[in-house]
Amino acid sequence: MVSERSLEVLRVIVQDYVASREPVGSKSIVDRHSFGVSAATIRNDMALLEEEELIAAPHTSSGRIPTDKGYRLFVDHLANVRPLSPAARTAIETFLGQSSDLDEVLARSVRLLSQLTNQVALVQYPSLSRARVRHIELVPLTDRRVLSVLITDSGRVEQRVIDLPRVVDEEQLSMVRSALNHAVGGLSMAEAANALREAESLGPVPVRDLLDPIVATLIEQVGANRHDRLVMAGAANLVRTEEDFSGSIFPVLEAIEEQVVLLRLFGEMASDQHGVSVSIGRENASFGLGETSVLTSGYTSSGGDLARLGVLGPTRMDYSNNMAAVRAVARYLSRHLGEN
């Protein structure tokens, strides 16, 4: 059984190692922290922690560094998720408040989260299992080209440019627009795809020849909105922390490029008492990410669908700060999307 003082020793080892990347010895603990005991006593506590495989010596006669098990204990029992500073909260509200549509707000969210944590930031698009078509807009660009805009109730906006087989006027375009919204407005993505495939039932005869390219494009837009995908930012942060990986970081980079792997990992992570999910080191080995930690939190879209936002980096990271940043951005994202 690990004593309370030994747990406190583990806490300062984690904090000092995260800050310095240098193994932590008993003398530095006594010099830098107010334990009120001798270095010999701290060495006994460290020996107990080592027996429990919570810390390890990277080299003979060196200080100690946390193991994956030690980080896990730190996160589960020792780490207080401190609130973000007022300046950081203001930055979140200012930066994300300038976003208008879902694509932009998610892109801004990962850029901001990467800057706040110095890690790779990831955000999952809202699941569209319950998303429905809110509106289809056709915007004339030239007399033979239109912009097709598909808007879902989850806030996602998908745009495509369509070249038409002939010149179209506003009256004819309005007829097509009305026919499409009448046919698929309020339908789920799957229902909308089926309705669009029955193009012969859409629109009056004078505009049937215009429907084929428009419907084909809309089917592509609906399909694009049905696939889970991630937006990422801050991959360069992995290069800056390359020393934290025992081998090459290229397998990690390859793993994060495989979005299906990360989406599966996201799906298996459950939130803790802080509202944040944390998966550390060897817990990620089956995903090819055995030297990384992944922190995520859930957010909800305007359509009520749940998705995840988080960061990925080396196991040597500032868990308390990163958990606070992930939780704060996820909460603001839910509130922002709920208001739009």
Report pLDDT for 138. Answer: 94
Same structural domain for residues 232 and 333?
yes
pTM of the model: 0.75
Q: 227-238: per-residue pLDDT in tens?
A: 578 899 999 998
Report pLDDT for 198. Answer: 75
Same structural domain for residues 63 and 199?
no
Same structural domain for residues 237 and 110?
yes
The angle formed by the CA atoms of residues 257, 266 and 336, to the nearest 5 degrees, is: 100
Same structural domain for residues 118 and 233?
yes
Domain that holds residue 61: 4-78
Same structural domain for residues 175 and 195?
yes
Same structural domain for residues 151 and 170?
yes
Number of domains, the chain: 3
Q: 125-157: per-residue pLDDT in tens?
A: 876 656 788 999 999 999 899 999 998 887 778
Write out residues in the chain with pLDDT < 70, as ranges.
1, 60-61, 78-81, 100, 127-130, 199-205, 224-227, 271-274, 302-305, 339-340
Report pLDDT for 110. Answer: 94
Same structural domain for residues 148 and 102?
no
CATH for 51: 1.10.10.10
Same structural domain for residues 174 and 313?
no
Domain boundary among 207, 226, 245: 226
Same structural domain for residues 70 and 116?
no
What distance separates the 2 farthest-apart alpha carbons in the chain?
91
Nearest C-alpha neighbor of 181 from the set 134, 117, 147, 144:
134
Residue 236: partners with Cβ closer than 8 Å, 6 or more residues away: none
